[in-house]
Structure 1
Amino acid sequence: MPTKPHFDDLETRSATERAADLAKALPQQIARAQGLSGYGDSLKEVDAAQITSVEALADLPVLRKSELGKAQAGQAPFGGFTTKPVYEFSHVFQSPGPIYEPSSNDPDWWRMGRFLHAAGIGAGDIVHNCFGYHLTPAGMIFESGARAVGATVLPAGTGQTELQVTAARDVGSTAYAGTPDYLKVILEKADAMGVDLKITKAAVGGGALFPSLRAYYEERGITCLQSYATADLGNIAYESPAMEGLIVDEQIIVEIVTPGTGIPVAPGEVGEVVVTTLNPDYPLIRFATGDLSAVLEGESPCGRTNKRIKGWMGRADQTTKIKGMFVRPEQVAALVAQHAEIEKARVIASREGEADVMTVQIETANGDEARYAQSVADLLKLKGKVELVSPGSLPRDGLVIEDQRSYD
């Protein structure tokens, strides 16, 4: 069991201390990335010594997962984005795409120990790990975290629910790791078998933890906390016992940007999660996750002082087919960039009769509707209605393209 409230002193740093540490670590990470073939010339002109803050990162290009896939196709398996050759890593994993990810046996390489500690898991616990071990890295991500906090692991995976119950009973599993809903499947099977399990803690991820499901576990004496992690980045953010948002991990930097761009949104607005890692083996710089979230103001009541995000709020890729043509968020961003007086734009797809209609709402104090209509046709490759709206009137919900058509 954890004997101290926090995993390490990094979690309770002051804003000044955290900024000072970042000012030292970030230029070193940018310099590592500049030496990697995967980045090509994208960081060539960057003065790494000047990238000392989150704000300074905003001038660098965004790296998308599709670019990783293209690079890996030409330079297998990691596309020139790692600082070590493949044979110096302990594992190679494959995600859909396919995208290949490295792994190392270095202590807590995925940084999941911080989350498991927050979930109350530690020495003396036996973790029933139901994340997959086959090709994808989720099982190993949580196993490395369990090792970091001194817990024992039962590598259970999924399926064969009756055997899961039997193993959990015989081994004495006290904690669960896996998707939020699969623990309920195990518990219901245990009930049907007349077996009492000792699981009192759950560390979940890879899906939505609905309030009703958390309440179900709580009624059964199980405290369930969630994390937000990806195969490329490892742990991004995690829930503490305060259950107020997700606290950003100490070895990454999170930005929230307008989808389709690298431009940070205003505090509290919904946007795409972009992550920069401080992992020296795999320096991903401004890696776009494709997920939507927003910054939660203030600090967690649990005493951890890092930035918080509201959790997963949908996908940022809002590419939508209108009149048989795809309209993409980056096209909308290009429209905004072409006219300095435009503050924000939103494309709405609707139907009139049996025909698609595209309406482009443009936030501007003053402008020429006809000129914007021509820009819409040029950049979005479609003609549409243009509506001028007052600055600040469009929702700050992360949507750049809103599809109002019913598919029922």
Structure 2
Amino acid sequence: MAALPRQVAHAQSASAAFAELLRGVEAQSVTSRAALATLPVTRKHELLARQQAARAEGAGSDPFGGFATIGWRGLLRAQGARRVFQSPGPQYEPEGAGPDYWRCARALFAAGFRAGDLVHNSFSYHLTPAGSMMESGCQALACTVFPGGVGNTELQLQAMVELRPHGYVGTPSFLKLLLDKAAEEAIALPGLNKALVSGEAFPPSLRDAIRARGIEGYQCYATADLGLIAYETEAREGLVIDEGVIVEIVRPGTGDLLPPGEVGELVVTALNADYPLIRFGTGDLSALLPGLCPTGRTAPRIKGWMGRADQTTKVRGMFVHPEQVAAIVRRHPEIAKARLVVSGEMANDAMTLRAEVQDPQQALAARIAQSIRELTKMRGEVELLAPGSLPNDGKVIEDARRYE
């Protein structure tokens, strides 16, 4: 919180995008989570749209859409980018010159990596930043890195046999593939006893299968926009939030905070001067856990990645967005929680808003139905439910249609 007002002021003065998005905000007043929650959420699709609009302007335009404060010679007044990466979209992300820019060292240390370890890095080193993210974290811990990259399973396995790394970083599925190949060929991998995995789900079944081969695997959650967001510890009780970000959980389609335990969209403010994303909506679902990590780490924790928050669905040829469901709820303060269920068969869709209310009156249902028609331009049924009836899974729109 002490760093937050400085970061907001820096974003306003050094980032053209946030100068516009945060116009009129008094940065020195943003000193608490409550104050932060009054600022607008910028979602990934909006960032991409700004980048695309800027690039469409032609030569000399800013490929980062005005969000980055660093670049290279000829890119506005900015310099200082060490690398630039491309994610699907395409969307471009800068890498600054600071040590451990992506802040992955803390996750690696929690997974057991230490100075002097040889680390086999099988994340991609081209286009996307995952390989560089992990390598810079390893180097901050004084580890040696073998840049395996993706694919070339036979060559990577040969390198593991001959170099005998202490640890692995990469996707859990590729680690399982390497271990299965080694077992198939009766190849031993002595010394490999730890792993930090990301980029995919890491269910307990896969964790146990890797553990059975003598490797203790931990997971972390990171993105190309923000770097490390949270990481697992030996307590195995959720993921501890990195100290370089502030995390909020909001109701999908809004910027409204949810209490601990409620599943919603993960919104992140990065305390990064080079790419100062303020209230950046990741589009991912998670929930805050109460209390502190049993390891003694004092940062808050999240449950981990729990799916995608962008549940935009096409109904009768028209898109329905979570923001529209949120707008319906705002019109009717009687609604504590709502979910739009799309059912039926393709080309014969039906929409039903299932809403939790204390007093289920028919007149209220009729008013809500009218709001559905006004805000989505389509008819929808209304089902009023008792509080606590809807599951806590973060879904605002559920597509229950049959596609056979």
TM-score (ref. length: structure 1): 0.91
The CA distance in 2 between the partners of 1:272 and 1:100, in whole Å, is 23
CA–CA separation in structure 2 for the residues paired with 1:396 and 1:195? 46
1:33 counterpart letter in structure 2: A
Query: What code does the residue aligned with 1:355 have?
Result: N
Cα deviation digits, residues 259-308 of structure 1 (max 9, x gap): 01110112200000000010111100000110001111111111111111
Deviation at 1:142, TM superposition (A): 0.1
The answer for the alignment partner of 1:10 in structure 2 is: none
Alignment of 1:115-130 (within 5 A): 115-130=107-122
Matches within 5 A, 1:364-403: 364-366=357-359, 368-403=364-399
The aligned runs of 1:282-321 (5 Å cut-off) are 282-321=275-314
Contact 1:204 / 1:226 at 8 angstroms: preserved in 2?
yes
Alignment of 1:261-340 (within 5 A): 261-340=254-333
Letter in 2 for 1:370: A
Partner residue of 1:253 out of 246, 254, 265: 246
Q: Which amino acid aligns with 1:284?
A: L
Q: Within 5 Å, which residues of 2 pair with 1:139-150?
A: 139-150=131-142
Residues 65 and 287 in structure 1, CA contact (< 8 A), matched pair in contact too? yes
Work out the CA distance in 2 between the residues paired with 1:338 and 1:54: 25
* Pair 1:192-2:170 in alignment: no
Equivalent position SS for 1:79: coil
Cα shift readout 1:283-340 (whole Å, capped 9, x = no counterpart)? 0000011000111111111111111100111100111122222211000011111223
Once the two structures are TM-superposed, the CA of residue 119 in structure 1 deviates from its matched residue by 0.6
* 8 Å CA contact 2:5, 2:28 repeated in 1: yes
Give the counterpart of 2:65 among 62, 70, 79: 79
Q: Given that residues 345 and 403 in structure 2 are in contact (C-alpha distance below 8 angstroms), is that contact kept between their aligned partners in structure 1?
A: no
Deviates more, 1:361-370 or 1:203-212: 361-370
Q: In structure 1, how many angstroms separate the alpha carbons of the residues matched to 2:398 and 2:331?
A: 21
CA displacement at 1:185 relative to structure 2:
1.1
Q: 2:234 aligns with which of 238, 241, 259?
A: 241
2:75 matched residue in structure 1: none
Which secondary structure does the structure 1 equivalent of 2:373 belong to? helix
**Offset at residue 388 of structure 1 (A):** 2.2
Selected match of 1:58 from 7, 32, 37: 37
The match for 1:33 is 11
User: Do the aligned residues in 2 keep the contact of 1:25 with 1:278 (CA within 8 Å)?
Assistant: yes
Contact 1:32-1:83 at 8 Å conserved across structures? no
Q: Which moved more, 1:81-90 or 1:169-178?
A: 81-90
Hey, what's the Cα distance between the residues in 1 that align with 2:355 and 2:112?
Answer: 49
Distance, in Å, in 1 between the alignment partners of 2:347 and 2:322 is: 25
Question: Deviation at 1:407?
Answer: 2.6
Q: Deviations over 1:87-128 (max 9, x none)?
A: 411100000001100112311110000000001101121110
Go from structure 1 to structure 2 and tell me whether the alpha carbon gap of 1:186 and 1:49 turns closer, same or farther (over 3 Å shift): same
2-structure distance, mates of 1:383, 1:40: 40
Secondary structure in 2 matching 1:378: helix
Of the structure 1 ranges 217-226 and 381-390, higher mean CA displacement relative to structure 2 is found in 381-390
Distance of 2:384 and 2:376 partners within structure 1: 17
Asked whether the equivalents of residues 117 and 143 of structure 2 are also in contact (C-alpha less than 8 Å), the reply is yes
Q: Assess if the C-alpha contact under 8 Å between 2:5 and 2:27 holds in 1.
A: yes
1:219 Cα deviation after fit: 0.9
CA contact (8 A) 2:261 2:287 kept: yes
Which secondary structure does the structure 2 equivalent of 1:114 belong to?
Answer: helix
Q: Distance in 2 between matches of 1:221 and 1:236?
A: 27
Alignment: residue pair count: 386
Q: Contact 2:234 / 2:295 at 8 angstroms: preserved in 1?
A: yes
Per-residue deviation, 1:62: 0.4
SS in 2 for 1:41: helix
Cα drift, residue 354 of structure 1: 7.5
Opposite residue 384 of structure 2, the aligned amino acid is: L
TM-aligned CA deviation for residue 137 of structure 1: 0.2
Task: Give the corresponding residue for 2:201.
Answer: 208
How do 1:356-367 and structure 2 match up within 5 A? 356-366=349-359
What residue in structure 2 maps to residue 4 of structure 1? none
Q: What is the alpha-carbon distance in structure 2 between the residues aligned to residue 246 and residue 91 of structure 1? A: 28
Deviations 1:40-71 (A, max 9, x none): 43211111111112221111000111222122
Kindly provide the CA deviation profile for residues 160-186 of structure 1, in whole angstroms up to 9, marking residues without a partner as x: 111111111222211000001101111
CA drift of 1:85 comes to 2.9
Q: How much does 1:364 deviate?
A: 2.9
CA contact (8 A) 1:270 1:398 kept: yes
In the other structure, the counterpart of 1:13 is none
1:230 matched to 2:226? The reply is no
Kept in 2, the 8 Å contact 1:253–1:275? The answer is: yes
Q: How does 1:7-26 map to 2 (within 5 A)?
A: 22=1, 24-26=2-4
Q: Once structures 1 and 2 are overlaid, which stretch shifts more, 225-234 or 27-36?
A: 27-36
Secondary structure at the aligned position of 2:93 is classed as strand
2:211 aligned residue: 218
Report the Cα offset of residue 254 of structure 1: 0.5
Q: Which runs of 5+ in 1 are unaligned?
A: 1-21
Residue 95 of structure 2, aligned match among 103, 117, 133: 103
Deviation at 1:403, TM superposition (A): 1.7
Matches of 1:65 and 1:39, distance apart in 2: 14
Query: What secondary structure sits across from 1:372 in the alignment?
Result: helix
In 2, Cα distance between equivalents of 1:55 and 1:112 = 28
